[in-house]
């Protein structure tokens, strides 16, 4: 896929900005920004807890932020990860499922690392959610309708 276009760079910058607000106890900072169907941008950062299972990833925080404002469908998500001995910029499996829940298969996932307050342009990678999560759990409307009628 081609490098990020202007709106995707805007999304990456929004994710970079909120990455600084991440609440990190032992991990690393992550910022995310989603572009909803209406073009609005909603950001999120990771929030850790001393009870590890309670932590929230930046991706889910950003999606929850969109939902809070009445947007249930996202077109794109940018994820920026602090460059700190982290091998991958890919969302975790839980977040992949969550992104899928609120998007269509062609939704773009734009991933990058950041260092010294800058996006590392050589690290930018774009995939579709279908590329990253081809076999997700799906409760399509049709299945839901038949469940409701039974
Ligand atoms: Zn996650």
User: 113-130: per-residue pLDDT in tens?
Assistant: 999 999 999 999 999 999
| Ion ligand 1, residues whose Cβ is below 5 A away | 57, 92, 95
CA of 55 to the centre of ligand 1 (A): 9
Mean pLDDT of the chain: 92
Domain span at residue 72?
6-149
Query: Is 1 among the domain residues?
Result: no
Sign of the dihedral defined by the CA atoms of residues 36, 42, 46, 49, in that order: negative
Q: Up-side HSE of residue 90: CA atoms within 13 Å toward CB? A: 13
pLDDT at 1: 46
Query: Is 58 among the domain residues?
Result: yes
Query: Is 91 among the domain residues?
Result: yes
Give the H/E segment covering residue 64.
helix 58-68
Catalytic residues, by residue number, are 59
Query: Is 43 among the domain residues?
Result: yes
- How far is residue 48 from each of residues 25, 28, 30, 124, measured CA to CA in Å? 6, 10, 11, 25
Query: Is 86 among the domain residues?
Result: yes
CA of 141 to the centre of ligand 1 (A): 25
Higher-confidence residue of 11 and 150: namely 11
User: Rounded to an integer, what distance in angstroms lies between the CA atom of residue 131 and that of residue 10?
Assistant: 23
CA of 140 to the centre of ligand 1 (A): 23
Query: Is 46 among the domain residues?
Result: yes
- Put simply, whether the predicted model's pTM sits higher than 0.75 gets the answer yes
pLDDT at 144: 64
Query: Is 97 among the domain residues?
Result: yes
pLDDT 10s digits, 5-55: 999 999 999 999 999 999 999 999 999 999 999 999 999 999 999 998 899
Query: Is 99 among the domain residues?
Result: yes
CATH number at 107 reads 3.40.140.10
Q: How many separate domains does the chain show? A: 1
pLDDT at 150: 72
Whether 149 has a pLDDT exceeding 80, the answer reads: no
End-to-end CA distance of the chain: 44
CA of 149 to the centre of ligand 1 (A): 34
What residues pair up with 82 in beta bridges, in sequence order?
A: 114
- Angle at which helices 6-19 and 58-68 pack, to 10 degrees? 110
Mean pLDDT of 90-102: 95
User: Rounded to an integer, what distance in angstroms lies between the CA atom of residue 28 and that of residue 6?
Assistant: 27
CA of 69 to the centre of ligand 1 (A): 21
């Amino acid at each position: 896929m081609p490098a990020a276009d202007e709106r995707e760079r805007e999304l990456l910058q929004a994710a970079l900005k909120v990455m600084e607000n991440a609440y990190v106890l032992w991990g690393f900072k992550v910022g995310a920004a989603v572009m909803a169907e209406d073009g609005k941008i909603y950001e999120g950062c990771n929030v850790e807890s001393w009870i590890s299972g309670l932590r929230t990833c930046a991706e889910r925080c950003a999606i929850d932020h969109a939902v809070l404002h009445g947007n249930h469908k996202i077109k794109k998500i940018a994820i920026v990860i602090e460059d700190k001995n982290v091998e991958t910029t890919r969302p975790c499996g839980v977040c992949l499922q969550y992104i899928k829940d609120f998007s269509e298969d062609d939704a773009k996932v734009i991933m990058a690392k950041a260092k010294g307050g800058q996006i590392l342009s050589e690290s930018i990678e774009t995939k579709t959610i279908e590329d990253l999560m081809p076999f997700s759990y799906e409760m399509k409307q049709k299945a839901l309708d038949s469940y409701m009628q039974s």
